[in-house]
Each structure stands twice: as C-alpha cells, then as structure tokens.
Amino acid sequence: MNTALTSQWHALAERPLAFVRERCLAECLERDIDAARLAALHDSPRFTARLEQLLTGHFKLQPLAQLDLPAEQDLAVLLLSESDFSHLTRLCGAVWHAATLSREIRGEVVSEYRRLLGNDTFSLALTHRHLAGAADLLRTPAELLQAIDRDGAACVAAWLQSRPAPL
C-alpha cells in the first residue's frame, strides 16, 4: 500500500472539514449566511464536531473515521484535488477514444485534437491506447470532443457507482 496515499487518507479522516467546500457546508444550513461568517464557522475548532454531524446527516454520509481504508487504486482517485478530479472525465474519455486519436494521420486534425484536449491529455490517451474501447473514425474533432466528455463522464459515474455505499 502506498504510504503517501494512506497518510493522506488518515489526514482526511482526522480533519474532514478541512476538505469540505464552503458551498457544501452552506447547503446544510437552514438559513442564508454570508461568505465571511461561513468561513469563520468552517475554520472554528469550536464548531467542528457539530458541523461534521450536520454534514453527515444532511448528505447521509458515514463519518470517514468509521470507514475502512479504501483500496489503493481507489485512494488515488478519491484523494485527487478538486482541480485534478475535474479533469478526470476528459482523461478517461480520451483513453476510451484513443484508438480514434491514434489512427488519425492528417496533421491538421491531429493538431486540432491536441489543441482541444491539451498535450498532456492527448499524450496520456496515446500512451494508454491499449485500453481504448471506441473506434469511430467518422467524427469531426468537435464531435469527438463531445463523445470524449460524454463517455468519460459515464466512466467516472460507473466507477463512483461501483464503490461501496458508505464511501
């Protein structure tokens, strides 16, 4: 087991509020509260236990400290930053459609794929093209990008659905 991931999980379990977006906390409150007060409430150790109870009750969550340590491959995804997680669907979709990306030989179309996906995502997809599942060569770059985003979102949703309910 990767000790860095395990350490991150334990830090999350010990201080779950540190990883909660203020908009999620605001959703739990029964009245509107301005951003400054919400931030002060979020950062106050005095309210930590009550806020954790409020969050677990509102979202019907099990406290993280009571959960078993997830599998290492799940931890790698569960512990992604919000920014990195937001790119996950595009990465998954690009890998799924990597056969199409790798078979394209027209330079201007390959350049358009790189521009639309970004060099890192395009390169990652080609590196993992052995995992590709779709091969539709009749798409324009814009249509392929839509398919990549749609299928990537379906992939991430299927993965989330397959996780244990308490997680």
Q: Which pLDDT belongs to residue 58?
A: 87
> Does residue 100 contact residue 139 with C-beta atoms inside 8 Å?
yes
pLDDT 10s per residue in the chain (167 long)? 678 888 888 888 888 887 888 888 888 887 788 888 888 888 888 888 888 888 888 888 888 778 888 888 888 888 888 888 889 999 999 999 999 999 888 899 999 999 999 999 999 999 999 999 887 766 789 999 999 999 999 999 999 888 877 66
CB atoms within 10 A of CB 74: 17
Give the global pTM: 0.77
Same domain, 93 and 51: no
33 and 100 assigned to the same domain:
no
**Is the residue at 167 inside a domain?**
no
Domain's final residue, options 66, 88, 106: 66
Distances (CA, A) of 155 to 46, 114, 119, 138, 160: 40, 22, 21, 22, 9
Backbone angles phi, psi at 30, to 5 degrees: -85, 0
Report yes or no on 40 lying in a domain.
Answer: yes
For 119-162, the DSSP string reads HHHHHHHHHTGGG-----TT--HHHHHHHHHHHHHHHHHHHHHH
* Same-domain status, 97 and 154: yes
Phi, psi torsion values for 163, nearest 5 degrees: -75, 155
Residues 46 and 85 in one domain: no
Predicted local distance difference test score (pLDDT) of residue 78 = 85
pLDDT for the residue 117 = 95
**Dist. CA 151–CA 125, nearest whole Å:** 14
Same domain, 90 and 139: yes
Residues 43 and 114 occupy one common structural domain: no
Whether 74 is covered by a domain: the verdict is no
Q: Determine how many CB atoms are found less than 10 A away from the CB of residue 115.
A: 11
Asked if residue 26 belongs to a domain, the reply is yes
Domain boundary at 15, 42, 66, which?
A: 66
Give the per-residue pLDDT at 51.
87
Residue 75 inside a domain? The answer is: no
Domain count, the chain: 2
DSSP secondary-structure letter at 67?
S
Domain span including residue 58: 3-66
129 shares a domain with 91 = yes
